[in-house]
Amino acid sequence: MSVAILRQGDALIAAIQSDLTDAQVLALRDDLAERVGRHRLQAVIVDVSALDVIDSFVARSLRSMAITTRLRGAETLVVGIQPDVAIAMAHFDLNLKPLRTAKDLDEALVLLGERVEEDGDAE
Amino acid sequence: MPNEVRVEIARDEDMLPARAHGRALALELGFSRTDATLIATAISEIARNIIVHVGKGEITMKPVQEESRYGLVVTATDSGPGIADLEAALEHGYASRGGLGLGLPGARRLMDDFDVQSERGTGTTITMTKWRVRDELELLRERRRLLDEKHHGEQRPDGAGP
């Protein structure tokens, strides 16, 4: 799958590398939900800066990712929504709660309470 | 004018080339990056509509030119069962199968013109267009070019058109 997954402390960073098919988006959601428990994560950061289209399905999948990981005990933050993509998403009149966003990875890590610590446990 | 592009939609992954072609054509026609993204997103919605509700169809993207504007006409056709309740399908939040309640209304909001023709048993055709108004300079250049051609072609003494 074209998603790079990195571990940073008790956060997991999923950096989407290219446009995903619907099936890949759902697989990512399921994979992240599973990893939250396996790695005892506090947070999942999904970097979508490589996506040049986020349609209503992907938007709702991101929201569903946030809800799923929250139910599993971790926060999800989406980072890097491109300006044009944000404008397109605004047309959908979509309720994205409880999706949290940040401008980039650095800000996301700050928002998550700077619980960045090297634990050498990355995969 | 760039040529018309046709993309068959049969699988999930066919949406990606459809989107990419739409974006490329839009940029070629001078649409802004933002408009190109809106067009690509709308194409994504109607492509998914085909995949989820019918399974198979095609999308054509055709550049058009009018006196004062350029347009990209996107047509999605399928020969599926048709949409039972068209008005409901175009309403926000409607979902018949697969839980997609935003596809068509979303695409409609992203484009300028939007039309759905659907007949039970024969299929559905969605036609949607995004327009770009040609700016003054572009129009002046075009008029100048036409005048020049006319002069060279017909050698009218007054050079005035109708």
Contact in structure between A54 and A91 (CB atoms under 8 Å): no
Alpha-carbon distance of A122 to B26, in angstroms, equals: 42
Token representation of residue B59: 């999308």
Does the pLDDT of residue A98 top 60, yes or no?
A: yes
Mean pLDDT of B14-21: 95
A-interface mutation test, from B9, B16, B41, B97, most A Cβ less than 10 A away:
B41
Are B34 and A57 within 8 A, CB to CB? no
Q: pLDDT tens digit string along B42-91?
A: 999 999 989 988 889 999 999 999 988 999 999 999 988 887 777 777 77
Please list the alpha-helical segments (H only) found in A1-123: 22-38, 56-71, 83-90, 105-111
Q: What is the DSSP letter of A24?
A: H
Q: List the structure tokens of A18.
A: 């290219």
Enumerate the residues of chain A whose CB falls inside 8 A of the CB of residue B16. Answer: 19, 21
Eight-class DSSP state of A10: T
Verify whether the Cβ–Cβ distance A87 to B48 is below 8 Å: no
pTM for this structure?
0.84
List CB contacts (< 8 A) between B106 and chain A: 55-56, 91-92
Nearest CA in chain A to B102: A56
Name beta bridge partners: B131: B71
> Helix, strand, or coil here: A94?
coil
Average pLDDT of B4-28?
95
pLDDT at residue A62 above 70? Answer: yes
Q: Measure in Å the smallest separation between the Cα of B28 and chain A Cα atoms.
A: 17
**Is a pLDDT exceeding 60 seen at residue B14?**
yes
Digit-coded pLDDT (tens) for B117-156: 988 888 999 999 999 998 888 888 888 998 998 888 665 5
Handedness of CA A74, A34, A57, B36 (dihedral sign): positive
**Cβ–Cβ below 8 Å for A91 and B103:** no
User: Which tokens go with A78?
Assistant: 């989406």
- 3-class SS string, chain B: CCCCEEEEECCHHHHHHHHHHHHHHHHHCCCCHHHHHHHHHHHHHHHHHHHHHCCCEEEEEEEEECCCEEEEEEEEEECCCCCCCHHHHCCCCCCCCCCCCCHHHHHHHHCCEEEEEEECCCEEEEEEEEEEECCHHHHHHHHHHHHHHHHHHHCCCCCCCC
Measured between CA atoms, the residue of chain A closest to residue B101 is A56
Q: Provide the 3-class DSSP secondary structure of residue A106.
A: helix
The neighbour count for residue A2, using CB atoms within 10 Å, is 13
Out of B44, B92, B100, name the one closest to residue A53 (CB). B44
Strand A75-79 vs strand A43-47: parallel, antiparallel, or unpaired?
parallel
Give dist(CA A117, CA A103) in Å, integer.
21
Q: Answer whether residue A63 shows pLDDT above 70.
A: yes
Contact at CB, A19 and B19, closer than 8 angstroms: yes
- pLDDT, tens digit (0-9, with 9 covering 90-100), for B57-68: 999 999 999 988
Q: How far is CA B68 from CA B7, B115, B136, in A?
A: 28, 22, 9
Q: How far apart are CA B144 and CA B71, in angstroms?
A: 22
Distance, in Å, from the CA atom of B74 to the CA atom of B128, rounded to the nearest integer, reads: 5
CA distance A86 to chain B (A): 10
pLDDT value, residue A54: 94
List of chain A residues whose C-beta atoms are within 8 Å of the C-beta of residue B104: none
Structure tokens that stand for A91 in this block: 């047309």
What are residue B60's DSSP bridge partners? B6, B75
